[in-house]
Amino acid sequence: MVSIIDVARAAGVSNKTVSRVVNGEPYVTPEMRERVERAIRDLGYVPNMAARMVRSSRSRTFGIITDYVSTTPYSGDIVRGIQDWATANGKIILLANTGGDPERELSIWNTFRSHQIEGVLYVTMYHRVVDPEAGDVDLPTVLINCHPGSRVDLPSIEPDDTQGSLDLTRYLLARGHRRIGYIRLNPILLGGEQRYEAFRHATTEAGIPENDIIVRLGMEGPVGKETNYVYSAARDILSDENRPTAIMCGNDEMAIQVYLAALHLGLRIPEDVSIAGFDDFQTLSLALKPELTTAALPYYDLGFKGTERLNQLIEIPADRPSRVVVPCELIERGSVSSK
């Protein structure tokens, strides 16, 4: 471990002068600066963050706490967004995941305090309501991809499932679809409900009669262990001779099964039936042929902007908790045709 003192010795100056050079402080002659910089290069000196933290009691570290449900792998993009903001702004990220265990969650909060964390990003892998076990601790916290429950009042940043679904539905309606099937996501998912409500809202608004909306529940049960009816629901809907001209799916994953069901019945996509997804999970949406028209969950942005927001919260602690919503962009590809 080469310290500031080693550098000072090598450059023949005091440790404080080295400190000044390292931190870009004024009042150092160019000549001194030069000498110190060479010593730093020669010795391969890197400042010791731990010592800095002890000295300044500022860690420049944010903690991520996730529930890490591995069934939704795409939400890893949230972490990428967080990382990118952090790196660009000289912050360090400490990652921890609860595995859903509240006891673990408490111990994580302690770990965070131990590391002098300045703020916490509470990230869920699907859009839902949460009650962080923060308890006594009151670190600045931003909820990402989730919504505060009754016990807490925290700022959050969430995808606008409602707007996304509204846009998607209107897109379908604008293309002349008047009889539409809808396969619902698990009702315990916040996003699922918002998407469905928005769909209903848009169709009602367009004057589509109740009878022309065919709704099926695609899955239910606890997250990660749900039973899945999508394939049979899709077959069911599409077997009817008065079948809808389009099917909207709770998410892209469901869309696969609808594709398969449709093809199995000899229907062409999108000529015989149009299909729309949700999420824009590209491993799926681009693998499907024709590629899937869908609404993109802004995961990367959620992470990036959420972190930016946390930083604000830390610098200006006055600002009030609030909810920020990020739009879901409509991604037009080949699975929806005009009627």
Partner DNA sequence: AGCGCATTTGACGACGTCGTCATATAAATT
Partner DNA sequence: AATTTATATGACGACGTCGTCAAATGCGCT
The interface partner of residue 287, options being its own copies, DNA, none and the CB cut-off 5 to 8 Å by kind, is its own copies
CB of 246 or CB of 256, closer to its own copies: 256
Residue 3 binds DNA, judged by CB under 7 A: yes
Minimum CB–partner distance for residue 113 and DNA (Å): 10
The footprint of its own copies on residues 50-89 (CB under 8 A) is: 50-51, 53-54, 57, 59, 68, 70-74, 76-77, 79-80, 83-84, 87
The residue among 141, 139, 119 whose CA lies nearest residue 130 is 141
Q: How many whole angstroms separate alpha carbon 279 and alpha carbon 282?
A: 9
Q: How many whole angstroms separate alpha carbon 88 and alpha carbon 121?
A: 17
Give the x-and-dash track for 40-59 against DNA (CB under 7 A). -------xx--xx-xxxx--
Q: CB–CB of 13/32 below 8 Å?
A: yes
Phi-psi region of 267 (alpha: psi -120 to 50; beta: other; left: phi over 0): beta
# residues contacting its own copies (CB under 8 A) = 58
Cα angle 2, 4, 5; round to 5: 90
The footprint of its own copies on residues 202-241 (CB under 8 A) is: 231
Residue 34 binds DNA, judged by CB under 7 A: no
For DNA, which residue of 9, 10, 23, 153 counts as binding (CB under 7 A)?
Answer: 23
Segment interacting with DNA, rule: CB under 7 A, options 20-28, 210-218, 273-281, 282-290: 20-28
Contacts of 107 (CB under 8 A, 6+ apart): none
Q: CB–CB of 264/235 below 8 Å?
A: yes
The residue among 127, 121, 163, 160 whose CA lies nearest residue 142 is 121
Minimum CB–partner distance for residue 307 and DNA (Å): 23
Q: Which residues pair with 295 in a beta bridge?
A: 330
The interface partner of residue 89, options being DNA, its own copies, none and the CB cut-off 5 to 8 Å by kind, is none
Contacts of 115 (CB under 8 A, 6+ apart): 59, 61, 63, 94
CB of 12 or CB of 100, closer to DNA: 12
Residue 188 binds DNA, judged by CB under 7 A: no
Residue 90 binds DNA, judged by CB under 7 A: no
State the residues that interact with DNA by CB under 7 A: 1, 3-5, 12-17, 19-20, 22-23, 26-29, 31-32, 47-48, 51-52, 54-57
